[in-house]
Amino acid sequence: MEHAMNVFTNDQLVTDINAVLSDAESLLSATVDQGGEKMANLRSKAEASVRLARRRMAHAQNAMLEKTRETARMTDVYVHENPWNAMGAAAGVGLLVGFLLGRR
């Protein structure tokens, strides 16, 4: 359950950061016609920061995806090696959920 919440939180975080980066890129594009060397330097620094952040986000997404795949693979191996344990755990969770829903 905690892993599922972390994945949701991580996915939401990635989505939110990508939205911020897109907004930053839009803001940079909107200021293209603003003159001055100082503004051009600031814009180039901001563009470099956005590019770096995008690369880091892509790396973080790939790492998260790889970890998720590894967890799924390990779960698959465990279930194939211990089918009765997996069935027992599933039955126990089913009984617990049924009991909790029956109390309503």
Query: What secondary structure letter does DSSP report for 33?
Result: T
pLDDT at 33: 74
Low-confidence ranges of the chain (pLDDT < 70): 1-8
> What is the identity of the amino acid at 92?
G
Give residue 93's pLDDT: 92
pLDDT of residue 1: 47
Task: Record the tokens describing residue 50, joined without a space.
Answer: 């956005």
Predicted structure pTM score? 0.54
Distance between CA atoms of residues 30 and 49, nearest Å: 17
Distance between CA 59 and CA 33 in Å, rounded? 33
Task: Using the structure block, give the residue that is written with the tokens 């939401």.
Answer: 12
